[in-house]
Structure 1
């Protein structure tokens, strides 16, 4: 049975304070970091590089020696097994840059009894786990407006420290046009007006950067399972809305949400970005798998299809 409490006016006013408690990263980050590492570890054995020949250390394949090539490229051990000469090719390992942005505004503090975690916790776990997976695949990862790209194995700690030090999170990413051959991964609920989200995408993609929008939603936000009288509180301001018949209000709410979602999908499509929708009643690993595949399919990152499940 779904547990949804109808707030009275006094409780509705307390909503922003409750959301602020959910956004207190000081005590939550250690647990979030552990969870992110656990989820990333389930994917680690499925990671592989770009499978493209080039400079690097990792062995990829043998191929037949071509006359005219330097003789020192021949792998004599492999060639001794055959009547032909073979060359050992190494996998291309040129690092790619991925920029993350994780929404930590007040609306991300929302969590219903159906959710496995508040939206902000899920967004942080997903973002940090993705960073770990990408760095394992040879990529560089940075936080937009907070930290420069790095390929250190301590990337989760580095990003967590930058997030904890940021005392003024915004509900939209910074106006930071990214260069070509980089990718942005924006994770949040994106409840801001769709026009503002579209403007943010346009600014980031102005120089040709590719990107991915990850929409984190609570199941209650998707279904609006309220009945009777209800008071809806704005977690980012003092406004409240008293609804006389929540059941009748549901159809209008769902229509508005569908229109907003379609506008976000269109904003992504205009720039060739992808849109991933992740509900907080589902495991974080599902979104990580989807996102890793989409980044790999774009040819922009060294992480291949992640085959492990869990989380």
Structure 2
């Protein structure tokens, strides 16, 4: 990926993220409890932000007693701080050939839409002091979690490198380097075998990983606008179907797609993950906000 291309991709993501001030991107209830750029988790622990006072008990060390507050009452009080441990979020932007589809030149390819969405979310996470990284279809694609502008650029370069490869129509992420207690964001059209997704989520959940499933579809993949003689062929040419009356397939296709989306939602629900379907012809702002809030809901 050229430096110029990386800057263009990052600029587009930055433009999307700029629509959300640090606190506006988070849920309203979180905005009322945390400082800008900090994700409060509303439980006692290591941190800088005051949470509450509690009465001291015999096992408390004297150095933790707030003597100024204690002088105003008959007992001693401990000044508790809020836990503010940074979380780690890993992104997987599907490089499958099926993602390189757009039904109209005015609509971005699903892969481009997904890449900008992931980078914009990373920028919002960076504002909150979070760490983020990248998974791919092999160990070579792995970018360990970090933060900062350089890390965002690394993600952009990593995504672009995957997009340049000749991938099959459908892929699955390599989870071998995924660490426990991490959040994983999977962005794909999920038009492959749902069993593969179920196995991925099961493996991730077994490692203590939670996350979000973001399905990105082209509007034509929802509406099925084709009529008459039509040849349907996958990007790699591995799948091909010709029909003389495409319109007759619409109802059955849409039923199958609805079943597919319901199956994905069920996979997410059983694992305690979040699921949402977005369309590549719609403003990505709503998808970005949903993703960011889904990551926050882990601590609800």
Q: TM-score, normalised by structure 1?
A: 0.75
Q: 1:218 to 1:29 in 2, by over 3 A?
A: farther
In the other structure, the counterpart of 1:161 is 157
In the other structure, the counterpart of 1:211 is 211
Relative contact order, CA 8 A, sep 6+: which one is greater? 1
In the other structure, the counterpart of 1:42 is 19
1:28 to partner: Cα distance: 5.1
1:163 to partner: Cα distance: 2.4
In the other structure, the counterpart of 2:293 is 293
In the other structure, the counterpart of 1:12 is none
What secondary structure sits across from 1:260 in the alignment?
A: helix
Say which of 126, 147, 151 aligns to 2:117: 126
Q: 1:284 to 1:268 in 2, by over 3 A?
A: same
Unaligned segments of structure 2, at least 5 residues: 27-33
What per-residue deviation string (whole Å, max 9, x for no partner) do you get for residues 46-76 of structure 1? 254134443234x345647858774786496
Q: Give distance in 2, aligned partners of 1:105 and 1:206.
A: 25
When structure 1 is superposed on structure 2, of 165-174 and 102-111 the one drifting more is 165-174
RMSD: 3.1
2:67–2:77 CA contact under 8 A, matched in 1:
yes
The 5-angstrom pairing of residues 236-275 of structure 1 reads 236-275=236-275
Q: 1:114 to 1:254 in 2, by over 3 A?
A: farther
Q: 1:34 to 1:251 in 2, by over 3 A?
A: same
The 5-angstrom pairing of residues 76-155 of structure 1 reads 90-113=81-104, 116-144=107-135, 145=139, 146-155=142-151
Q: Give distance in 1, aligned partners of 2:220 and 2:259.
A: 17
Q: Give distance in 2, aligned partners of 1:35 and 1:86.
A: 50
Q: Give distance in 2, aligned partners of 1:255 and 1:122.
A: 25
1:196 lines up with 2:196 in the alignment: yes
1:214 to partner: Cα distance: 0.5
In the other structure, the counterpart of 2:31 is none
1:135–1:151 CA contact under 8 A, matched in 2:
yes
Q: TM-score, normalised by structure 2?
A: 0.78
2:98–2:235 CA contact under 8 A, matched in 1:
yes
Q: 1:100 to 1:227 in 2, by over 3 A?
A: same
Q: Give distance in 1, aligned partners of 2:236 and 2:2.
A: 18
Q: 1:268 to 1:71 in 2, by over 3 A?
A: closer
Q: 1:208 to 1:242 in 2, by over 3 A?
A: same
